[in-house]
Amino acid sequence: MLAKKNYKDSVFTALFSQPALLRDLYCAIKDVTLPPDVPISINTLENVLFLDFYNDISFEIAGKLVVLIEHQSTINPNMALRLLLYISRLLEKRVKGRTLYSKKPVSIPWPEFYVLYNGAEPYPDDAVIQLSDIFEKPKELGLAPAARPLLELEVRVININDGRNQAIAKRCKKLAEYSALIAKVRTFWKELGNLDEAIKEAVKYCSRHDILTEFLEIHGSEVLNMILEEWNTEDAIAFAREEGREDGLEEGLVMGRVEGREEFRGEITELLAQNLTVEEIKARLEKITSKQV
């Protein structure tokens, strides 16, 4: 069994932790209007690590619609599978103690799945990722080339980077302000070359320009650690690519044998935040991994 980790809020999950803001977010994404008295209930699986992942936001609307939202800075083909596993866990919790062999159908909420993307890599405003994209294609068994599996899950991926999907941003002010904060972090990182200082300057900028003012007043001291925690290895690689350091950095990651290994993400992010040269990063990574061999 995989060891559990402590759940850590990201800026995104901390920001959208209130039912009223989740209503605004959902209405903006769907371009619908929900009455203010429609109940929004947040699901409570955030402290249950399931197969070494957690979902960012999961909530129900009037008990009839369950919405799972992930906030991602990288796109990978396993998002639909992760959400399938998570919705299975939610439904298991919902039907616990009820027989599934009754003649009466068990009522379950209508599911919707979203990924809100704000990574540095170019991506369309709106896209769909399907679970069937990663299924094996057993043509050797005689299945027709156009055969479709009898299990599917679709995830709508929405690019929320600053300046993208402006109609959604206009409908949800907090989402637009969140995107502006992250954009400022990236801008200051390019200017200053130090992630810690970039986050501090971005927070100051947003406070001066009425961007997430109340949130930053409450969580200002935590925002630095939140962003450092969620700004993972893939973010750093994407940023390095923008700065023309991709080849050296990726070579260092490969040489250090740490690429994709969760236990080293914090160390890699910390090294990048120190504005070290490629050679210095490679040397540090080699030292880290040599202790594990």
pLDDT of residue 109: 93
Running along the chain, 293 residues long, what does each successive block of 10 average in pLDDT? Answer: 43 90 95 92 60 70 90 87 90 82 88 93 94 85 78 96 95 96 93 89 94 90 80 56 51 46 57 61 66 54
The verdict on residue 78 lying in a domain is yes
Q: Tell me: do 141 and 248 sit in the same domain.
A: no
Same domain? For 115 and 28 the reply is yes
Task: Indicate the helix (H) or strand (E) that contains 155.
Answer: strand 154-159
Mark whether 78 and 162 lie in a shared domain: yes
The predicted structure's pLDDT at residue 280: 67
Is residue 41 classed as helix, strand or coil in its secondary structure?
Answer: strand
Global pTM reads: 0.75
Q: Which domain does 89 fall in, by range? A: 11-171
User: Residue 162 in contact with residue 206, Cβ under 8 Å?
Assistant: no
Task: Please indicate, yes or no, whether residues 159 and 20 belong to a single structural domain of this protein.
Answer: yes
Indicate the residue among 151, 171, 191 that finishes a domain.
171
User: Cα dist. 18→12, 23, 59, 117 in Å?
Assistant: 12, 9, 10, 21
117, 44 contact by CB (below 8 A): no
pLDDT at 243: 53
Please indicate, yes or no, if residue 282 is contained in any of the structural domains: yes
Alpha-carbon distance of 199 to 24, in angstroms, equals: 26
Q: Which of 143, 171, 199 represents a domain boundary (last residue)?
A: 171
Q: Are residues 149 and 22 in the same domain?
A: yes
**What's the structural domain count of the chain?**
2
Residue 180 lies in a domain: no
pLDDT value for 291: 59
Of the three residues 171, 193, 208, the one that is the final residue of a domain is 171
Compute the distance between CA of residue 267 and CA of residue 283 in angstroms, rounded to an integer: 13
Instruction: Tell me, yes or no, whether 42 lies in a domain.
Output: yes
Instruction: For residue 183, tell me if it sits in a domain.
Output: no
Write down the residue that tokens 């679709």 correspond to. Answer: 154
